[in-house]
Amino acid sequence: MIRLLIFCLVLLSSCVSHRATTTSPTAEKRVKDDMLDAATAFMQTLSPEQQRQVTYPLADEERYNWHYVPRERKGLSMRNMTETQRQAAMTLLKTGLSQQGYERATGIMDMENVLRVIDNRPPNDTYRDPTNYSFTIFGNPAAQEPWSWRVEGHHLSLHFLSRTGKVLAQTPTFFGINPAVLAFDSTMADKRMQNPRIKDLPQKGKRLFERETDLAFDLLKSLNADQRKQVIVDAVAYPEIVTANKRKASIERMDGLKLADMTKEQRAMFMELLQVYLKNYRITLAKQQMDKLEQAGLDNLRFAWAGDLTPELSVGKGWYYRIHGPTILIEYDNTQTNANHIHTVVRDLTNDFGEDLLQEHYRNSAHTGKP
């Protein structure tokens, strides 16, 4: 009973706080200006050759060429930046993310050092490389025209778009981690964890996506038998996030248990889980996304599950869940490497890559043609 009361109070507090601080034009302008200033400062640190390497026209198809696997990427890699340039690039990254989101991003980059050890690669290996993350700018960062930027590398793909008088679009957003749990443990299904070199790593014991995992299992455990029938869409987890790196995210059916059919305690759990993902963004951008969800109707959001029902890392069966609504899709998958390898993605089903904002801009301006 006490736990129920606490959850209700948390949910009520969150709702009141949100309505009292709905995104204002001033806050939107502050984010946009900070991002513009940071992008301009970053560009000023680059040589003419580096500027040519980092920039593409806004309409270039490269803007939609995204993935989260290790591969060669366009743009300018941090590996090829000076320390001053790297600092300017990371300042740009901070303008789109909260402290939580920034720690997620840098933690993902740092995990490449761990994979070097696990894969028995040399210290100068460039395949598992924490500096192999590329920054790309699309269009000309200017106060009067739309422009976009991306940072991408293994397990990280972030996209932002700015437009005059508007706050930013910020999806697709991909965060992944491998290993999800780094522990020298012979009982885990992930046999890599038996590598004795793990014991000496400073990252040992890290669970970067702990709340995304634990909160989802808490919600799952709270469901009654009838609710579970609605939530569980497959007994076996999918081997990857369903939408992968598609340009346009789409899942044919909206399955799962609706928020409207949850108890108050379950609704509080669900909202806390949803906020874990939204709070990766700078607060203004998170509120912008929440405003959109409220306008579409929070009760239309659904929670769906596939795979194992227990978080036992020694089993290695894997699990998948998603939050799906009219305007948003969040996917979480932990199946690879014996369920010690997490992929998550947030997709705005109406405005990925800022396409909706761009179309509106071009309709209401003197520009002709498609962006």
pLDDT per position as a tens digit, 328-364 = 999 999 999 999 999 999 999 999 999 877 877 667 7
CB 113 within 8 A of CB 60: no
pLDDT per position as a tens digit, 44-58: 999 999 999 999 999
The span from the first CA to the last CA of the chain, in angstroms, equals 55
pLDDT per position as a tens digit, 126-139: 999 999 999 999 99
> What's the average model confidence in pLDDT over 52-74?
97
| Structure confidence at residue 163 (pLDDT) | 79
Q: Which alpha helices (DSSP H) does the chain contain, by range?
A: 2-20, 25-44, 48-54, 83-94, 99-118, 210-222, 225-231, 264-278, 283-296, 336-339, 355-363
Whole-model pTM?
Answer: 0.90
Q: What angle do CA 28, 34, 39 make, to 5 degrees?
A: 125
